Amino acid sequence: MKSILKNIRIKLISKRAIDDTPQSMDKFITGLKAADASPIDTMKILRKKLGIALREAKQITFSSSSWQHLE
């Protein structure tokens, strides 16, 4: 049940509008992390949502305030 709720929260957040500003990206990624999305989940969502390469999605993810401590 917990993983179902997690997936629902992540899907809801992934539908939010974002633009290409660092603040918008950071807020979006922070929301995903708060919903228990992993860095891999975040990269997948960014790739699909923005139509970008994995390398760029990884760079955006690990540049965010939520995940920069892992880089």
Section 22-28 average pLDDT: 94
Q: How many CB atoms are located within 10 Å of the residue 13 CB?
A: 18
Longest CA–CA span in the chain (Å) reads 35
pLDDT by residue (tens digit) across 28-62? 999 999 999 999 999 999 999 999 999 999 999 99
> Counting Cβ atoms within 10 Å, is residue 22 exposed (0-12), middle (13-18) or buried (19+)?
exposed
Tokens representing 44 are 């997948």
Sequence spans of domains, the chain: 2-70
Q: Give 58 or 1, the one with higher predicted confidence.
A: 58
Tokens of 52: 């970008």
pLDDT for 68: 81
Q: What is the pLDDT of residue 62?
A: 95
Cβ-contact 42, 61 below 8 angstroms: yes
**pLDDT(71) > 70:** no
pTM for the predicted model, two decimal places: 0.88
